[in-house]
Structure 1
């Protein structure tokens, strides 16, 4: 189990290009807005087929509630805010500019940002979604 956790962390950190991970929506927010997702170093594809493509991996760590954690922080290639399940969007009406992902135990956390500056902490996120492996 420890090896799997480190292997998953290496994937999230963008250690090497790899196939997309299919993740199941865990939180009520993820279930209602994104549904299940497919996520890799290049894009996030939502349950309804919409996607957000990443420009660059800009950081391999992130501060969550004051604690530095291994993470992947991506800039979004074409900032936007696609219509997802039930007519919902990731961040209200503002375009998504950055996305951060990290592991919390067996749960994949995905924070979404609409900031002009690259985020370094979770306190400026506009939404948080949680997923698990099937």
Structure 2
């Protein structure tokens, strides 16, 4: 009986660790699905502190500046982050994230089960997607 209990406890503990690791990985990993995302950023890791691109380049965030955003005239729940050290890193295929200056803000929102990421170069926090210099689409 003791062997059965030990085996059961080990199996439960093992499945908990696997579930936790799986949930953490899936939560932060995004697969590029749009043509621009595949050719510029590749797959990404994204959380409340930074975005890391497939080639290992990272932009860190200094903070969340808004939790809503205007997309095509409609307000949606979103996360708008300020980049702590603005930049436009060289990414996949020698492409740059924005191509027209240092990225200062990054917005992320859900669009029918896909995650959209928009990048901005302005000095002021963006309020809508009309101000973006580029956008990328991912699946989680």
1:37-116 pair list within 5 angstroms: 37-116=44-123
4+ residue stretches of structure 1 with deviation over 4 A? Answer: none
1:120-131 pair list within 5 angstroms: 120-131=127-138
TM-score (norm 1): 0.84
C-alpha distance in structure 1 between counterparts of 2:89 and 2:98, whole Å: 10
C-alpha distance in structure 2 between counterparts of 1:117 and 1:39, whole Å: 22
Paired residue secondary structure (2:60) = strand
Paired residue secondary structure (2:82) = strand
Paired residue secondary structure (1:33) = helix
C-alpha distance in structure 1 between counterparts of 2:100 and 2:124, whole Å: 18
Q: CA deviation at 1:93?
A: 4.0
The question of 1:30 aligning with 2:37 is answered yes
Is the contact between residue 100 and residue 133 of structure 2 (CA under 8 Å) also seen in structure 1? no
Paired residue secondary structure (2:56) = coil
Q: CA RMSD in A?
A: 1.2
Aligned residues: 116
TM-score (norm 2): 0.80
Using the TM superposition, name which of 50-59 and 19-28 deviates more.
19-28
C-alpha distance in structure 2 between counterparts of 1:130 and 1:113, whole Å: 15
Q: CA deviation at 1:49?
A: 0.2
Q: CA deviation at 1:102?
A: 0.2
**Structure number, greater radius of gyration:** 2
Unaligned stretches of 5+ residues in structure 2: 1-23
